[in-house]
Amino acid sequence: MGFVDKLKQQASSLGSQIDQALDSTKQKGQIGSLRKQRGEMVSQLGEALLEQFRQQQLDVEQLRPQADQIFNLEWQIIEAEKVIEAQKQAAAAATPPPQAPAAAQAPPAPPAAAAPAPPQPAQTGTVTCPSCGGEVPTDSAFCPNCGAKV
């Protein structure tokens, strides 16, 4: 492969990496927006709950729609985070390590003591809700479907 062909290949690879970085940044922005919206809704729900408590007329069913919207936002956040993680893994698998030109390669270094493995991120899976039987992400405290504590 000629110099120009290698240059074109590297430019194409760089363009792909930039596109992936932009997609990731866009996803992170959406997650931030969802988290802000969730915070505002939790605040509104708390205000409504406090007002009902003050009036000694606590009505859980009246608060349920707000809670369901919050659970839906939490689910959207989790799904968006999964997309980002999948993009990171795909990018890592698709990016070959850079190779130095043959003339510039140094002789292999002597084997070093094995470094401890970095901590692995927690695996995000799902469990079954004991109340409704729906899927609940393992890192959630409440079911996004019915709101039951898990």
Q: How many domains does the chain divide into? A: 1
Residue 150 is assigned to a structural domain of this protein: no
Q: Is residue 83 part of a domain?
A: yes
Distances (CA, A) of 40 to 45, 47, 48, 117, 150: 9, 11, 12, 40, 24
Domain housing 53? 8-95
Check residue 98 and give its pLDDT: 60
| Contact in structure between 148 and 130 (CB atoms under 8 Å) | yes
The reply to whether 52 falls in a domain is: yes
The answer to whether residue 15 is domain-embedded is yes
Judge whether 25 lies within some domain: yes
Backbone φ and ψ for 32, nearest 5 degrees, come out as -60, -40
How far is residue 32's CA from residue 29's CA, in Å, rounded to a whole number? Answer: 5
pTM reported for the whole predicted model: 0.53
- Which pLDDT score, from 0 to 100, does residue 119 have? 47
pLDDT single digits (tens) 15-65: 878 888 888 888 899 999 999 999 999 999 999 999 999 999 989 899 999
